[in-house]
Each structure stands twice: as C-alpha cells, then as structure tokens.
C-alpha cells in the first residue's frame, strides 16, 4: 500500500554514496513467517543508537539521509523491512505488540497511522516538534499522519498519479489531452474506430491498487468511502457515479483485455508496448519510458519516448479537479523507544529539505515539503519535469479512509470492484456500504 517506496523501479540513474560505519545491530530471522528479532537501542561509541525501520530503498537515498543525520548525539541504524507492505506491517505489529524497545523511528505506510495510534504503539507529535513537522508540509500529506485531531507522524515522502498519454495519437484526433473520464473514453473509442492504439491502462487487479482507483473516483465525484467520523460508509450517490465510470471503461473499447489482473508495472509495460493511448500511473513511468525507449510505431516520426506526455488525472465531474489518492511513507516514533526526544529530532532530519530532494532525485519519491515545488532546484526540475502537475495533484489530493480497520475496508472494496467488468453500479455500491459497516464493527467475514 505504500504505492512507491519499495515496489517501483528506480526513476533516475543513481549516484552511490559511501555507506557509513557498520550498523550496531543485525536483523535476524526467528520464525518461518519472517518475524524480526528484537534489537534493543544501545550505544555506538558513547552515542545512543536509534533504530530506523522502513522500506528497503535500493537507490541509496535513505541510507544517505541516515548517514548524514547521524551525529555526535546519536547514531541512526537503517533496518530494511521486506518489499511487501503487508509483511512490513506484520513485522512492526508483532514487535510493537510485544513492547519492543528496539523500534525508535518507524516508516509507516500512510494507511497505518490510525491503527498504530489507536493501539498506543506510536507517540504523538506535540509542542515544538509538531510545529516543525507541520511547517511547510503539504496539507493532504499531513492529513495522512493525523488521527482524531492529533499528529502521529511526520510525512516523509508521498506519491500521486498523473495521466500519461501519447501525443502522436492525440495529434491524429487534432485535440488536446482529455480533462475528464468521459472525454478520455470518447477519445479511446475514436482511436479504436481509426484502427489506432487506444487502450486506457489502469490498475484493475484485486489488490490495493484497485482500491486506490475506486477511492480516487469516489473522492473526485464529491464523496468519501467513510463518513466524517469514520463510523460508517460514506454517501451512496458518489459511489454509484464512480462505479458507473469504472464499468464504462471495463465494457468499452478502452479496456485492456488484462484489466482484471493489471497492477502498476503491467500498465507501464503495456504503454511501452505501443498498444495504449493513455495510462493512469505514478511518475516512475516517465524515466522508465525514457530509459527503455521502446522501438514501436508512432505517427509523427518521433520515438515513443518523445511522444510520452503528461497532464492532470482526468476529473469525474467536468469543471472540477480530480482528487487523486496519495501514497507514501510517514515517520513515527515508537512508544517504547528509550530515546524519544532524540528520535523526534532524527526523524525531522531524515525528512528535511535536503534529504527530500535526494529521495526525489535518486529514489523517485515526490517530496511532501511544498517549498521544493515552489522554488525547485535544477536537479529537481531535471528529475521531475512534471513537478507542476504533481504539485497540483497533491494540492487537490485525497487520502484513503482513516480507520484502524483500514486493512479490512480495503479488502472489502478490492473484492467488490474487481474484476471491473463485474461491476453493477447500484448493486456494487450497496454491497460495499454493507460490508464496510461490517468491517468497521468487526462483524462477519472479510472476503
């Protein structure tokens, strides 16, 4: 569910930085299920050791931040969690439930804060550290880290989707990029009639990605999956409208035959194969296209990479912005850390402007600090030529339902809307609302 950190291809050519001293404690496998052993916060050369548990970043950007934030007051040790978000959560939950004091700084998926806060596993950010965490941070990113009005983490990185399209195909239609779903599907139909590539690539498999798609569509239709206090499902009408558009795609010319099993990388590859006209996906697809530069037929003499353009995610309601569901990682402080004051300082250092820039340019993870977008350095503009579109998307973004029961809510939704070809707008909306009510009340069986 962290949408970009551990699962996506590198977005730029990485520069490797030297790794610091050998970490103070090793992670050992205790069980076949992969639970991590306890690794108490100790001392390194007279300094306290702060254990930082987060996604495995192959780019080296996280390790660079860890090296540069370690100082005379503390040594940070980067402990890499598995690639799977579910496995990451499982290992953190097991150790926190046991009161493990070896977890100081935690990289939380943006859907876990409510669960971890409600369980009392992470400390709230208050006073001056909260002020520092909030200063200059994008509003919607902060929302991911909130629960019941209290800040429980500092946004570390984020992610959002854009609409990626082929300029050479739109030139055949003599038009600009679509701004609504209805317009995009009409463009796809017209391209199909002309015998041209016309598919709309999006994530339709039964997993978190299709939940993100549905949440984006509902938010863009003016609704929400949960009510204001997260005690029940949101209103029906926006859900029906969202499901109607999803059904229309699934039964039209725009649908990829593999829609029901497609995840992010499958949609990327489909676009690179030359069969698609549009793709809804994360920014990592742009550098991938430039690097792969597939040799496929185009209609203006330019390469596919040169024709690969970007714009805002299409809206559901004409004249209104889309509200794309964001992902990312937030940094929380473990309840049982023996050095919470130092851990708060370290977390703020790990996510400062310099390190968010490194994470963006080397790790492909969009920043949560608005100033980077407003006053972008050349390195950022080079890595993110679409940074203005990303900022607009983040300013109008939506978040996933805020509830400790999010895992169950997500499963309910993904089973209801996948395969998209099986959607019956009113009936599926009724099923989702009923099953969300059961999930929030811990009733019945999760699909």
Which residues on adjacent β-strands are paired with residue 36?
A: 29
Rounded Cα gap, residues 140 and 289, in angstroms: 29
- What proportion of the chain, given as a percentage, has pLDDT over 70? 89
The full DSSP string for 226-257 is B-TTSSSB--HHHHHHHHHHHHHHHTSTTB-T
Report the candidate in 67, 71, 79, 55 with the shortest Cα–Cα distance to residue 2. Answer: 55
Place 444 in a pLDDT band, splitting at 50, 70 and 90.
low
In 133-217, beta strands by DSSP E: 146-147, 150-151, 154-159, 162-166, 199-201
Please name the CATH architecture into which domain 43-159+327-395 falls: 3-Layer(aba) Sandwich (3.40)
Q: pLDDT band for position 289 (50/70/90)?
A: very high
Predicted model pTM: 0.89
Percent composition of the chain: helix, strand, coil (DSSP 3-state, to 5):
40, 15, 45
Chain segment 9-56, per-residue pLDDT in tens: 333 333 333 323 322 332 332 233 333 334 445 665 689 999 999 999
Q: Which helix (H) or strand (E) holds 276?
A: strand 276-281
Q: Using one digit for the tens of pLDDT, what is the confidence trace for 313-364?
A: 999 999 999 999 999 999 999 999 999 999 999 999 999 999 999 999 999 9
CA–CA separation, 80 vs 411, rounded Å? 26
- To which CATH superfamily is domain 162-311 assigned? Periplasmic binding protein-like II (3.40.190.10)
Residue range(s) in the chain whose domain bears CATH number 3.40.190.10: 43-159+327-395, 162-311
Dihedral sign from CA coordinates of 227, 228, 230, 231: negative
Could you report the per-residue pLDDT of 369-381, keeping only the tens digit for each? 999 999 999 999 9
What is the radius of gyration, based on Cα positions, of the chain?
22
What CA–CA distance (Å, rounded) separates 138 from 410?
A: 25
Q: How far is CA 57 from CA 128, 166, 272, 323, in A?
A: 30, 31, 25, 28
Percent of the chain with pLDDT over 90: 87
| pLDDT at site 445 | 58
Q: Does residue 151 carry a pLDDT above 90?
A: yes
């Amino acid at each position: 569910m962290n949408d970009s950190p551990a699962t996506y291809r590198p977005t730029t050519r990485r520069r490797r930085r030297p790794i610091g001293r050998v970490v103070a404690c090793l992670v050992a496998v205790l069980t076949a299920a992969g639970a991590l052993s306890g690794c108490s916060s100790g001392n390194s050369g007279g300094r306290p050791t702060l254990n930082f548990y987060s996604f495995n970043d192959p780019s080296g950007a996280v390790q660079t931040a860890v090296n540069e934030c370690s100082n005379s007051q503390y040594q940070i040790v980067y402990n890499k969690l598995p690639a799977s978000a579910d496995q990451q959560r499982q290992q953190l939950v097991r150790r926190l439930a046991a009161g493990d004091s070896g977890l100081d700084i935690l990289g939380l998926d943006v859907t876990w804060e409510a669960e971890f806060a409600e369980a009392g596993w992470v400390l709230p950010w208050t006073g001056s550290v909260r002020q520092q965490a909030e200063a200059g941070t994008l509003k919607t990113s902060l929302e991911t880290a909130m629960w019941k009005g209290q800040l429980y983490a500092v946004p570390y990185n984020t992610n959002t989707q854009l609409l990626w399209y082929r300029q050479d195909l739109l030139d055949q239609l003599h038009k600009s990029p679509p701004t609504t779903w209805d317009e995009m599907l009409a463009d796809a139909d017209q391209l199909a009639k002309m015998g041209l590539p016309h598919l709309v690539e999006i994530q339709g498999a039964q997993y978190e990605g299709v939940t993100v798609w549905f949440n984006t569509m509902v938010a863009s239709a003016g609704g929400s999956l949960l009510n204001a206090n997260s005690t029940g499902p949101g209103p029906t009408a926006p859900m029906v409208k969202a499901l109607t558009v999803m059904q229309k795609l699934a039964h039209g010319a725009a649908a990829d035959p593999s829609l029901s099993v497609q995840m992010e990388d499958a949609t990327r590859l489909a676009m690179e194969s030359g069969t698609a006209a549009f793709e809804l996906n994360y920014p990592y697809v742009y550098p991938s296209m430039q690097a792969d530069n597939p040799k496929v037929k185009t209609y203006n003499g330019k390469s596919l990479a040169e024709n690969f353009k970007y714009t805002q995610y299409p809206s559901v309601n004409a004249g209104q912005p889309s509200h794309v569901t964001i992902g990312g990682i937030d940094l929380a402080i473990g309840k049982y850390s023996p050095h919470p004051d130092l851990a708060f300082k370290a977390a703020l250092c790990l996510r400062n402007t310099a390190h968010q820039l490194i994470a963006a340019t080397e790790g492909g993870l969009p920043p949560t600090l608005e100033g980077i977008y407003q006053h972008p350095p050349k390195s950022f503009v080079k890595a993110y030529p679409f940074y203005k579109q990303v900022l607009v998307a983040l300013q109008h973004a939506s978040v996933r339902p805020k509830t400790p029961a999010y895992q169950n809510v997500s499963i309910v939704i993904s089973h209801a809307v996948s395969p998209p070809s099986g959607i019956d707008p009113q009936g599926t909306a009724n099923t989702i609302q009923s099953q969300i009510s059961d999930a929030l009340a811990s009733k019945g069986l999760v699909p």
